Structure formats: structure tokens, C-alpha cells
A and B are shown apart, each in its own frame.
Chain A
Amino acid sequence: MDVESARLLGAGIASIALVGAGVGIGLIFGNYLNGALRNPGAAGGQFTNLLVGFALCEFTGLLGVVMGFIILFT
């Protein structure tokens, strides 16, 4: 297999990391909605933590995408 094909395959496999990001983001927002529907008064105070948690979770998925870009373009 030549390098170019291996690169394309590698970039594709690296993108599988986004599955984890999707699951994690769904869990975070789902738990937030769960808690917000049970206790609407306390929901506003945790909104900041929601956004920070979402960003941290998305970041780990995007690490996989960045590795894919590195494999593909360098």
C-alpha cells in the first residue's frame, strides 16, 4: 500500500474519535436537561458548568480530528 492511500485510511480512522465526543456531549446535555426538569430553579446556576463541560468533551473528540489532519497533510 503506498503512502497516499495509507494517509487517507489513517485520517478516516482518526475521525472515529468523534463517536466518543458525540456520546459524551449527549450525556452531558441529557443529564443537564434531566436535572433542569426536576429542579428548574437550580438549572441557571449550573449553566456555566454545562458550557465548560461541553467544551472539554468536544475538545477530546477534536483531538482525534486534528490527528487526522496531521496524518493527512504532513
Chain B
Amino acid sequence: MAASPMEQFEVTPIVPLHWGEIDLSFTNASLWMCIVAASVALFLTWGASQPRLVPSRMQSLAELSYTFIADMIRSAAGTEGLKFFPFIFTLFMFVLFSNLIGLLPPILIHPFTVTSHIIVTFALALFVFLMVIVVGLWRHGLHFLTLFAPKVPWPMLILMIPIEIVSFLSRPISLSVRLFANMLAGHTMLFVFGTFVVGLAGAGGVLSLLSVAPLIAITAVSALEFLIAFLQAYVFAILTCIYLNDALHLHEHH
């Protein structure tokens, strides 16, 4: 009985709701998004309860995440970017926690990685992209369009402007596909190694002893997946800051 590695990404409705032809069911994806949001809120409120000057462990963790993102925004987008701190912090914590919660072992629960679906990551990336455009137009008006015209001699501009426009339009796609593909590939690989362990262990004889090898591989890949979860959340957040920096300060040098 071989389950396909893609079955863990199936979205199944838990509470079917239909409004005419529109399917608004509360699915397992919705449930795990609620769990992610609740765990982020729990993590931060637990860290902020009973604050002391010499912080306790949970308070240290919460303050660590706060200063980490604040430093990142200040270095990538300048002090003006700090106005966007709540948004970027929310984005980072949501992506990080949904990546990590998807790595929980399937014991008693069926964890679901919210960010392993392109529609979720595309919604986040599209929001970032539209926000960057709105911020740029609000701040600079139509002068924002000089973002596509770097200071080069005018014959090169004819080539540079289409290149700049295409690279700008590819930003939401690259942001979303990067996160989605990393999560998809990682979890699929874990599943495939799992089937190796089960297959070898069930084959009997010498092969059952060999099933330790894919088990060690799963442990190593899980460690790598934890690193990738942090890294992808960090990269999503820092690229958002870099795009914001482009919108806030058009071509100014630091």
C-alpha cells in the first residue's frame, strides 16, 4: 500500500459551506492557518507576560525575534522602514511558524504546511507587491516610475527599461515560488525517505537492519528542513524590506 508523496498536501473540507456556487468550506488548510495564528499570538503574549528587567526564557525568545526583525528592517530599509515593522513582523512570524508547524511529526495529528500551497504564498507575495507599489506611488507620485530608469547613458536606457520592468514584475512570482517550492520539495523528500524506512524494515532479514540508513538520512534531512524553515522565512522578510527600500528611496545611495 504505497501512498503518494503528494497526499500530504491535499486540502480536504472539514465544515462544508457553500454560498451558491462558491465553495467557502472550512478546510484543513484553514484549520492549520488558525492554529499558526493562535500559536504566534500565544508565543508573543506568553513572552510579554510578567516582564522583568532580567528577562526570563520566554521573554528572551520573544525579545530576540523582535530585535532580530527590527535590526533587519533598519539595515535593509533604513529608519523610515521601521514604520512597516508590524507588517513585516507579522509576515515573518506567520511564514516561520507555518513552516515549522508543518515539520511536526504526524503522531495523533496530521500537520499541514500552510505555505506549501502556491495560492497561500502567492497571496502573501501579491500583497507585498501591491503594498510596495502603493507606498511608492503615495510617497513619490508618478516620479515613482523613475525606478525603472537607472542613471545610465541614454542609448542603454532603451534596453534597460524593459529589463527593469520585467524584473520588477517577476518579484511576486519569485517570492511566492521560492517559498512554495522549498516547502514542497522538503516535505516530499521527508515522505519519500519515510517510505524507504518502512519498505526496508518490512522486507525482513538483513534488509531490516539496513533500514537504519534511511532513518539517519531522515534525521539529517529534518535538521536541514528546520534550517530551511528559518532561512526561507528570513529571506521572504528581507526581500520584502529590500523592495520597500526601493519604493521608499528610489535610487538614493546610502
Q: Mark A32-74, 1 if CB is under 8 A from B, else 0.
A: 0000000000000000100110111011001101100100010
Find the residue from B174, B181, B182, B184 having the highest chain A CB count within 10 A: B181
B206 at the interface (CB under 8 A from A): no
A65 CB contacts on chain B under 8 angstroms: 181, 185
A73 CB contacts on chain B under 8 angstroms: 6
* Contacts A65-B185, A69-B184, A73-B6; A48 near B238 (Cβ below 8 A): yes
Among A51, A52, A54, A62, which residue has its beta carbon within 8 angstroms of that of B177?
A62
* Contacts A59-B181, A63-B181, A65-B185; A51 near B231 (Cβ below 8 A): yes
Chain B nearest CB, measured from A35 CB (Å): 19
B140 at the interface (CB under 8 A from A): no
Tell me what chain B mostly uses at the interface: helix, strand, loop, or mixed: helix
- Size bin of chain B's contact surface: 10 to 19
Count of chain A residues near B, Cβ 8 A = 14
Chain B nearest CB, measured from A55 CB (Å): 4
**CA of A46 to CA of B231, assembled, Å:** 16
**CA of A45 to CA of B239, assembled, Å:** 17
Tell me what chain A mostly uses at the interface: helix, strand, loop, or mixed: helix
B129 at the interface (CB under 8 A from A): no
Q: Are A52 and B182 in contact (CB under 8 A)?
A: no
Name B6's closest neighbour in chain A (CB-CB). A73
**CA of A66 to CA of B185, assembled, Å:** 9
Q: Mark B64-89, 1 if CB is under 8 A from A, else 0.
A: 00000000100110000000000000
Q: Are A52 and B185 in contact (CB under 8 A)?
A: no
B234 at the interface (CB under 8 A from A): yes
Q: Mark B167-192, 1 if CB is under 8 A from A, else 0.
A: 00000001001101110110000000
* Contacts A48-B75, A62-B178, A73-B6; A55 near B235 (Cβ below 8 A): yes
Q: Are A62 and B6 in contact (CB under 8 A)?
A: no
A52-B239, A65-B181 given; name 20 further pairs at CB < 8 Å.
Answer: A48-B72, A48-B75, A48-B238, A51-B231, A51-B234, A51-B235, A51-B238, A52-B242, A54-B231, A55-B231, A55-B232, A55-B235, A56-B174, A58-B182, A62-B182, A63-B181, A65-B185, A66-B181, A69-B184, A73-B6
The chain A residues found within 8 Å of chain B, CB to CB, are 48, 51-52, 54-56, 58-59, 62-63, 65-66, 69, 73
